[in-house]
Structures are given as C-alpha cells and as structure tokens.
Structure 1
Amino acid sequence: KTLSLSLKELEKDKLIIRKEYPQIPPKVEYSLSDRGKSLIPILDQMCEWGSKNKI
C-alpha cells in the first residue's frame, strides 16, 4: 500500500509517467518524466555529499 501511495504522489507531482497496458494479467510501467529526470543531478550531488560526510 505504501508503494502505491508513493507512486500516486510522484505521478501527481509529474515526476513519473504511468503507462497502462490493456492485457491480462494487467501490466503497468513507470518511467521518469522530463521533470523527474531534471532531479538526477541534484540527487547525485546529495549522494556525493552523503558519501563524503559519513559519520
């Protein structure tokens, strides 16, 4: 349930794109939107900072 809520919030914020396939069993794919991709450099910098500042 938590994953589902997180995905819905990311989709609402236009950070991911949800694509549904009309098949059985149902299939759904998620991908980063351009807006979501724009966060990659920021997240990379945060990871780098975290690695350098381990306690």
Structure 2
Amino acid sequence: MVVYRTVDLYDPDKLREADDPNDKTRECIYIGRRVKNDTKCLEKLFELCTTMTKQQKG
C-alpha cells in the first residue's frame, strides 16, 4: 500500500494512481467487473441509482 501526502494528490497522475484501488472496489461491488472508462462507469451507476429510486417509491 502506497501512502500519499495531500500535496501529492495535486499531481493528476498520483491522484489517479491513488484513486484506482477505490475505483476497482466500487466497480466490482456495484457493477461486478471493471469498466472500460469513466463514462461507462457513470452510466451504470446512474442506471443503478434510477432503479433503486424507483424501487423505493414503488
């Protein structure tokens, strides 16, 4: 595990590297696999949110 200082996260490459494990975990939990890009990930997460919202109202 790599530890980052706050100042390191202003570097886009280090921020992406630091956030990658979070992305992997979130995608595996909510989508079941890694996705091709951020757009596909957001599409799937919004789809899940819409489904969950409809279930709560119904």
Compare relative contact order (CA 8 Å, sep 6+) and give the higher one, 1 or 2: 1
Classify the TM-score, shorter chain. Answer: 0.3 to 0.5
More helix, by proportion: 2
Q: Which has the higher strand share?
A: 1
Q: TM-score, normalised by structure 1?
A: 0.35
